[in-house]
Amino acid sequence: MAFYIKIFSILYISKEYKSLIIKKIYIEIMKENNTNDEYLTLKDILNENLLRDLIIFIVLYLFVLIQSWNDLFLLIFPIITYIFSITFRIINTNKWRIYFGNGTIIYNPLGSEKRIADRLYFSSILLLIMLFWIGSESLSHPQLIDNYNLYFNILFILIYTFGFYWSLIDICKNAKIEILSKEMQDQEINKVLSSLGREGSIQFFILNLIVFLTLNIINILVAVLIKFNLMTTIPYNLPGTSIGGSFPLEISIFYLIFMIISPCLTVIILILIHHHIQDFNIDLLNETIQSLPESRRNEMLQNLSHINKKIIASINSNKDL
């Protein structure tokens, strides 16, 4: 009851206190709606975009399964890309929870999580379409599978690896921590606390490009060797294998290597970028917010403390010195 009295009392309080009280009420509402900030409920995780992507993915995946695939190894590839996609989707839709009041911090240590999620999701859908196509061809034109072997081996791994490469291609531009504050018309702050910089951006871009090109050059060479029977292969049964005397799809052990290396290297690159972005100059932060009112400085430090626990300790140690 006392909480609602606060709301109605705003109408009778002088203007200079209204903004302060509204801000306090907002924080109280946030605390009531988030009794445990460390954990997210299923209701917090699920949203319209995530459910839409999940339903489309499940429907397409079921279309592939009903073709009666006996060997499910290739069906793991779209699952991996979709797991990455849904992870970044959840991060993007819940990142606002680390902010309080009129937050003024742009926190993108992994670049644009929404863009990464969209690109990985697109890759997972393409992989499902490829599987559905080769499965349908094995049922309707089983005698042609041997002709498709080379093209499928090249395109399937290309789409899989390109999904991870594409998701990181412009992360260097968007990965940053930035402070934005506009107290008055003559007092505006727009300062980038941390970013990869030109040199770091070039290094990560080249690393990402080299990984993508290396994996696909190896895959093309392996696919050509398989085409001319110059390499030991693993027969992979499709839904229509053995219909009309058709042969299975020929793949290699490199499929397993590609499946593991591409996401693992992506995770390593993301960790390196995140670590670099998190390590920003505390002195630059102090200098940036020095001109702000004390209430705004405390609000920013509170936001940043949720991002990096070492910030408050570093600032306190600087004050002691």
What's residue 57's pLDDT?
A: 97
For the cut 50, the answer to whether the pLDDT of residue 80 exceeds it is: yes
Q: Determine, yes or no, domain membership for 21.
A: no
Domain containing 195: what range? 84-320
Query: In angstroms, rounded to a whole number, what is the distance separating the alpha carbons of residues 307 and 194?
Result: 13
Per-residue pLDDT of 241-262, as tens digits, reads 888 777 899 999 999 999 999 9
Distances (CA, A) of 40 to 105, 204, 248: 22, 32, 46
For the cut 80, the answer to whether the pLDDT of residue 128 exceeds it is: yes
Q: Determine, yes or no, domain membership for 52.
A: no
Q: Determine, yes or no, domain membership for 19.
A: no
Q: Determine, yes or no, domain membership for 11.
A: no
Query: In angstroms, rounded to a whole number, what is the distance separating the alpha carbons of residues 277 and 15?
Result: 40
99-108, 259-268, 298-307: range with lowest mean pLDDT: 99-108
Give every CB contact of residue 163 below 8 A, 6+ residues apart in sequence. 81, 119, 120, 122, 123, 124, 126
Q: Determine, yes or no, domain membership for 191.
A: yes
Q: Determine, yes or no, domain membership for 145.
A: yes
Q: Which two tokens stand for residue 166?
A: 């594409």
Q: Determine, yes or no, domain membership for 56.
A: no
Q: Determine, yes or no, domain membership for 64.
A: no
Split into its structural domains, the chain has a count of 1
What's residue 34's pLDDT?
A: 44
